[in-house]
Structure 1
Amino acid sequence: MSFITFAQYADDKSCAKQGRWRISEKRLHLCEFMGGWLGGFIAQRRLRHKSSKVSYQVVFWVIVAIHITFWLNWLFFGKQLVGLFLSSVFKG
């Protein structure tokens, strides 16, 4: 997913330079959220794309925080925490 996200950033940067139709920020954020945040991070640094737009960066870093929190919880608490969260969300 990181490779796909990086490719999306590269395509969007190319479109921006050529004045063509751009990839939406929502689509880029969706790719990051689906697991491509590291590819997005690398693309921002390598391509210098979306790295200075504050509103974009806020959402990007929230996505990164969600991923890091989830994976650290998974690593240290295993399925117990995820199961507890899901059972509290879907209580009916």
Structure 2
Amino acid sequence: MKKKHGTVVRWDSEKAFGFIRCPDIPADVFFHLRDYSGAAKPAEGLRVMFQDIHVGGKGPRGLSVEPARNTIINAPSAPAPLPVETPLLPASRPASRSSSRWQKRREERPLWIGLSLIGFWLVLWLVGIGMGRFPWVVLTAVVLINLATFYMYWRDKDAAVQETRRVPEEHLHGLAVIGGWPGAWFAQNILRHKTVKQPFRSIYWGTVAVNTFALLAWMLWPVLR
């Protein structure tokens, strides 16, 4: 299917959706972040290519959305000579493999940090159970809390797409602080939800610190006492 061209006329970074205006389609085309692929983040005024479908009576929806490729213009056979005073700019060098490899490692760093924290958190639980500070049954409660947290993130993500009532952020932070922060971390990275809003991210990492330090303090309390 041949892709159409258009321009992003509206983008909501918090709800992760927007609309594309295309001269070939009478109505603006809805698209979601999960239907978008490209190095540059969606923004108003961005030229894009997409495939459109019509789902029921909800209007057109864009799929496989990506930034529009630059049009290549053939150079004339005999270019006009430049004036003597015009300086010639040096040709830009292509990005080296080392720089692209460094950029990839930089993007993967937050994932390794999150996974390392989750691994440390699980070790704390296992050590605490081995020391007799927690009963084994507490692991069942921890698993249920994290599954519930992941579900609430999915529900909030779906509500953002459907423009229905959202899950209050206080509920998401409450689940995280009582032990559901690993489930919230996986939901943020898998569903690509709540990853842009900086105040929310700051509070979330605060709940991670509170939960981890509280767990560590409870384990070490007999020794410290």
CA distance in 1, matches of 2:182, 2:158: 20
Q: Could you tell me how far apart the structure 2 residues matched to 1:29 and 1:2 are? A: 12
User: For the aligned residues, what is the CA RMSD?
Assistant: 1.6
For residues 32-71 of structure 1, the aligned pairs below 5 Å read 32-71=176-215
C-alpha deviations, 1:35-89, integer Å up to 9, x for none? Answer: 11110011000001001110001110000011111222333x14455xx6xxxxx
Structure 1 residue runs of 4 or more that deviate by more than 6 Å after TM superposition: none
User: After superposition, what is the alpha-carbon deviation per residue over 1:2-61, rounded to whole angstroms, capped at 9, x for unaligned?
Assistant: 100000000000010011110010111111112111100110000010011100011100
Could you tell me which residue of structure 1 aligns to residue 68 of structure 2?
Answer: none
The amino acid that maps onto 1:39 is G
TM-score (norm 1): 0.79
Query: Map of 1:9-88 to 2, 5 A cutoff?
Result: 9-75=153-219, 77-79=220-222
Give the Cα separation in 2 of the matches to 1:79 and 1:20.
49
- Work out which structure has the larger RCO, using CA pairs closer than 8 Å and 6 or more positions apart in sequence: 1
Which consecutive unaligned segments of at least 5 residues does structure 1 have? 85-92
Matched, 1:7 2:147: no
The structure with the largest alpha-carbon Rg is 2
Structure showing the higher strand proportion among its residues: 2
Which one has a larger percent helix, Structure 1 or Structure 2? 1
Alignment TM-score, normalising by the size of structure 2: 0.34
* Conserved 8 A contact 2:188-2:194: yes
In the alignment, residue 166 of structure 2 is paired with which amino acid? Answer: R
